[in-house]
Chain A
Amino acid sequence: MKKRLVLFFALVLALVTGFTTMTATTANAATDTSLSKVQKKGTLVMGTSPDYPPYEFQATVHGKTKIVGMDVAVGEKIAKDMGVKLVVKSMSFDSLLVALQTGKVDMVISGMNPTPARRKNVDFTHTYYQGGYSIVINKSDKGIYKNKDSFVNKTIGAQTGSTMYNESKKQTSGTTVKGMTSVSDLILALQSHKIQGVAMEKPSAQAYVANNKELAAIPSDFNLSASDTSASVAFKKGSTALVTAANKSVDQIKKQNLVNKTYLPAAGKYLKTNTVNTSMFHYWKAFLTGIEYTLIITVCSVFFGFIIGVILALARMGQGGAVKTGLRWLATAYVEFIRGTPMMVQVMFVYFGLGLIVNLPALTSGIIAISLNSGAYVAEYIRGGINSVDDGQTEAARSLGMSSGLSMRYVILPQALKNIWPSLGNEFITLIKDSSIVSIIGVSELIFQSNIVRSDTYRGVAPIAVIMVLYFILTFTASRILNYFERRMQHD
């Protein structure tokens, strides 16, 4: 058993190393063709984490949600100078660099600081903006906190994976640093007094303070090098041609002071229109999109998950023959592996890992990952269901001349299905909820949409309450429908 485990880990390690080497080689190979490739396909895909106003955030423009902000303006300028169209892809800040390395996006503009650590993995352009850090606090605490050193025995929050997070950890003593994925969550934590301050870049801090009368900004007084407070555009390592081209645009931006003169005021306007109407009804379209995607993901995953489950269950129950034994072993290993790893990791692996071989859209990746995951669980239900059907049923069917396939399809599976219907229904309802995991790769399902609404309106709780009710309506409706079919299947 131990030996097997060792073998297994060696295998996983080999896989991981394999992927890493692959990334490296593709990166090197792209050295000279990076620019011509982008120009050939006619689009420049920009990755960003749109919860960081005024750098990037979601705004409702003519009834449609759109990612706007000064970073988007920078991206547009770069794309325009290259003669291609800009496509903006949103995802969590943590996922951005992975997306860049795996070719999901061509560049990352997300208020990202060109730190030495990041430089090891990606190439940066010249800086297009020199900012600084502020700490946002509750206005009522204004007298208590002066700068970063005032937070002894208190907690400062910062976006996970950001420079502020690392610097807050390094440059404070006696202060707890709490990391969260989105800035809107941090602000919410601040307002509910879970944390006492949020470290963020100056323009963002100004935007938050301008839009929320409860908040105030204080200087951070972090001791920072230029690279820590500047923002640059990141490209895949080795894409020199792209970086050179982008640098021309960035230099122009700097020279003409475009960020301060044009981009920031434009972004500010969006922020203004954005906060006029923060009622949840105003965002019904965003929630509707969320429901739509949640349902698409769930229904597709249930459908494919069921098919995968049936195949796996049959493979696991195969008897005799080297091929059948092999299949049984494979199916068992698959089920054990899927059940033994978190779904979030699987979603990321499908999106980023498979992305090295085929470039799948986030929605497709999400459906694939959840179907594969659900299939493993469904397989176990079905196996249990098949085992629960009396052997006499198979014997009766076989004695009538029915092949094992026909017996399975017309006699055993319908009965098995009836027996496991409550478990399958449970799986379906779990999937409605678990589909939220794909929000990390930027699929606009309910959780993702609620995060957008939250960063859009600076309201922390209301959107959560709304999706809670929406999720309940979805699951409750689903369970009623399932009960109806369960009753219809009862004959005794």
Chain B
Amino acid sequence: MTKPIIEVKNLAKSFGKNEVLKDITEQVDSGQVIVVIGPSGGGKSTFLRCLNLLETPTSGEVDFDGENLTTLDTKRVNELREEMGMVFQGFNLFPNMTVLENIKLAPMKVKGINDAAATKRAHELLKQVNLDDHADAFPSSLSGGQAQRVAIARALAMDPKVMLFDEPTSALDPEMVGEVLNVMQELANQGMTMVVVTHEMGFAKSVADRVWFMADGYIQENNTPEAFFDNPQTERAQDFLSKILM
């Protein structure tokens, strides 16, 4: 068995007196697609943000590729973040740059790749998300679905080993959800390791290798999608599924 790419050990996170994550120990293997589901306010986003240290854990550790992020200096954390792409609910494209510039910025400034090579790579990625004809558009002129696909291309431009998705379709109009999920599915088919926080149960069923059910600051259940959806083990999960699958 290969070494896991992400290992989380006794992770806890509080905001003031509010304990959002209580005690989480899980691992993600290379090539796996993990879908994290659960009720709102259960700590899913916070958990995901702890994986690339956008939130600093209160206690516990997060190991990425064998290195404990919580003990590293800022410089090394920055380097490791290059290997973990992240896609946000609100896209967070840079509004002052064109689509192409959004994608090229980090490869050029962080990796020092020259303009020609970065441009070539950006066009490849835009083709991959079917948006190459929008390369010179500004983010404000894009639809939500288009913006999120650009955001995915931007994260992929750093050639990450893992992609983290924080509710990537929650801010989209229903008819645009499909185009984003298709891109994500393709990415999974190519063997990308992914951790996806989402409410898209269809996506979880068809793409996930494992489903993590998260509520009240704990991973309540860790199972294959089939087992989880057909035969949830915990009462908390049964309750959650009964409410959403009506």
Contact = CB atoms under 8 A, between A and B. Distances in A.
Given A491-B138, A492-B138, A399 B96 contact: no
B95 A491 contact: yes
Contacts of B80: 401
Nearest to A400: B106
Interface in A380-403: 390, 392-393, 395-403
A414 interface: yes
B95 A399 contact: no
Contacts of B110: 400-402, 406
A411 interface: yes
Interface stretch (B14-22, B84-92, B199-207): B84-92
Contacts of A410: 105, 109
A414 B81 CA distance: 23
Interface in B42-93: 52, 54, 74-75, 78-86, 88, 90, 92-93
Given A491-B138, A491-B140, A401 B106 contact: yes
Contacts of B82: 400-401
Contacts of B154: 400
Given A395-B88, A406-B109, A414-B96, A400 B138 contact: no
A492 B90 CA distance: 17
Contact of B81 (A400, A418, A492): A400
A404 B77 CA distance: 12
Tier of interface size on chain B = 20 to 34
B6 interface: no
Contact of A400 (B75, B95, B158, B164): B158
Tier of interface size on chain A = 20 to 34
Nearest to A411: B94
Contact of B155 (A400, A402, A406, A415): A400
Most chain B C-beta atoms within 10 Å of own C-beta, residue among A397, A398, A401, A402 = A401
Contacts of B85: 399-400
A415 B52 contact: no
B128 to A, nearest CB: 18
Given A399-B81, A399-B84, A400-B82, A492 B95 contact: yes
Contact of A402 (B78, B84, B96, B164): B78
B239 to A, nearest CB: 32
Contacts of A400: 81-82, 85, 105-106, 110, 154-155, 158
A275 B93 CA distance: 68
B150 to A, nearest CB: 11
Given A392-B92, A410-B109, A415-B95, A403 B74 contact: yes
Nearest to B109: A406
- The A interface, classified by DSSP as helix, strand, loop or mixed, is helix
Interface string A43-83: 00000000000000000000000000000000000000000
A401 B158 contact: yes
Contacts of B90: 390, 392
A399 B155 contact: yes
A395 B90 CA distance: 11
Contacts of A411: 94, 105
Most chain B C-beta atoms within 10 Å of own C-beta, residue among A390, A398, A400 = A400
Interface in A412-456: 414-415, 418
Contacts of A404: 74
Interface string B95-113: 1100000000110011000
A396 B140 contact: no
B78 A399 contact: no
Given A399-B52, A402-B109, A402-B110, A492 B140 contact: yes
Contacts of A390: 90, 92
Interface in B125-179: 138, 140, 151, 154-155, 158, 164
Interface in B169-198: none
B81 A396 contact: no
Contacts of A402: 78, 105-106, 109-110
Nearest to B101: A410
A393 B106 contact: no
Contact of B94 (A393, A399, A406, A489): A393
B88 A392 contact: yes
Contact of B88 (A396, A403, A491, A492): A396
Contacts of B83: 401
A418 B96 contact: yes
B101 to A, nearest CB: 10
Contacts of A401: 78-83, 106, 110, 158
B173 to A, nearest CB: 19
A398 B138 CA distance: 21
A401 B79 CA distance: 6
A491 B96 contact: yes
Nearest to A409: B109
A15 B204 CA distance: 70
A398 B95 contact: no
B138 to A, nearest CB: 4
Contacts of A399: 52, 54, 81, 84-86, 88, 155, 164
A377 to B, nearest CB: 24
Contacts of A395: 54, 86, 88, 92
B112 to A, nearest CB: 12
Nearest to A415: B96
Given A390-B92, A411-B94, A398 B140 contact: no
Contacts of A491: 95-96, 138, 140
11 contacts: A392-B92, A397-B94, A398-B81, A399-B85, A400-B105, A400-B154, A401-B82, A404-B74, A411-B94, A491-B140, A492-B140
The 4 closest A-B pairs by CB, nearest first: A401-B82, A492-B140, A396-B92, A399-B86
Given A399-B155, A400-B82, A401-B106, 14 more contacts: A390-B92, A395-B54, A396-B86, A396-B93, A399-B52, A399-B85, A399-B164, A400-B105, A400-B154, A400-B158, A403-B75, A411-B105, A415-B95, A491-B96
